[in-house]
Every structure is written in structure tokens, then in C-alpha cells.
Chains A and B, each alone.
Chain A
Amino acid sequence: EAQVTQNPRYLITVTGKKLTVTCSQNMNHEYMSWYRQDPGLGLRQIYYSMNVEVTDKGDVPEGYKVSRKEKRNFPLILESPSPNQTSLYFCASSSAGGTIYFGEGSWLTVV
């Protein structure tokens, strides 16, 4: 079954405590992305990757890092989370020009 898997699904953390949200896809997709969703703002792209070791900033990259060491994994790293990073996060993957598949989402609260 085609899947994009994110973990954790729910997390409450404190300001400044580094955290990583993992994302894995089993479809051998080249492209992977991270989006955040906030009320009234829709989904906004944080970072994307077009292949292993190839990453680039999206629209709202500040405060986030990513890496793409393997094709299937694209973790999102918050080095020093702040309350304004409280959001719902989605990982997505696709082949070039193909349908974009979303993970189930990760609810992150930073207090």
C-alpha cells in the first residue's frame, strides 16, 4: 500500500527543545516536501527536496531544517522550537509531475 508515514502524530514540547518529525514514503518518489497548515492561511510549503541530497527552501523555511540522506526519508528538524511553530505539519511525496500524496499530519504544540 502506497504510504507517507509521519511521526510523531501528536507532540507537545517546550520552547527551545530540539525536535525532529520523521517522514518516510514507500513509493520510491523523488520529490518530498513539508507543509504547515494554520487557520486562515491554508497550507504553506516549508522545504522541499527533488532528490537525495537536493533540498531547497519553500515559502516559510525560517526556524526549520531538513535533510535528505536517503530517498525514502525526509525529516523536519526544529532546532529551537518557538510557540509560533505550533501548527499542523504535513509531509508529502510525489514522482516528477505525478500525484502528490500527503502523510496523516503531525500536530505540534510548543509551549
Chain B
Amino acid sequence: GENVEQHPSTLSVQEGDSAVIKCTYSDSASNYFPWYKQELGKRPQLIIDIRSNVGEKKDQRIAVTLNKTAKHFSLHITETQPEDSAVYFCAASFTGGGNKLTFGTGTQLKVEL
């Protein structure tokens, strides 16, 4: 089955700096890669996703890149703000197989003033 590795597990940045979180996946059949933000005690919230036919996607301060050959994808947050502090999860899925998400183990992002 699919295996997703996520790094780093914790990340501390100064407000206004950029943050990058990286994930690798093992199953070449995976074709959908969402990123979730989870605040303490709350449900994961989708912040951006990318499908395998696209190499990069951007939404305001958030961007995701995908390298299918190397089987890795990354989340980039620019101009970080304190409200970006949360746990971020990457995930991989093959949409033809029930939309099963395999999650990374999460990155605790702390944006310091």
C-alpha cells in the first residue's frame, strides 16, 4: 500500500518568513495530493490540493509543487502569519480506489512574532 513520509515534524519560523514542508510517497498510482491544516482539537481543513497532471498550484500565500518522477510534493507558505500556526498534514490518494487518503505524520508549524 501507499506510504507517505513528511518532514520536518516541527518547524518554527519568524513572522513574514517562508515555510516549506516536504512529503514523499511510494505508490506511483497515487494521483491526488491534498494538504490539510489542523488546529488543536478541530477537524482537518483542506487548504490546497494538486492532481498528478499538474506540477504546481498556487493560492495566494500558499503553493504546492509536485514532482511525479521523484514522488515528492511540497507545501510552500510565504509571508507567514501567526494564524498560520497549526499542524499541517500532507496526504496521497488514488482517486479510482475509493478516495482513500494516506496521511503523513504531520508538521507542527509555529510562527513566532
Contacts and interface: CB of A to CB of B under 8 A. Distances in A.
Interface of A: 31, 33, 35, 40-45, 48-50, 56, 58-59, 90, 92, 94, 96-100, 102-105
Nearest to B90: A42
Contacts of A50: 98
A42 B43 contact: no
Given A96-B95, A97-B32, A100-B34, A45 B100 contact: yes
Contacts of B53: none
11 contacts: A31-B98, A35-B103, A42-B89, A43-B103, A45-B100, A45-B101, A48-B99, A48-B100, A49-B98, A96-B99, A105-B43
Interface size range on B against A: 20 to 34
A45 B49 CA distance: 19
The dominant DSSP class at the B interface is loop
A90 B99 contact: no
A41 B87 CA distance: 13
B46 interface: yes
Interface in B19-37: 32, 34
B42 A105 contact: yes
Nearest to A41: B105
A43 B90 CA distance: 10
A58 B106 contact: no
Given A90-B44, A97-B32, A103-B43, A56 B105 contact: no
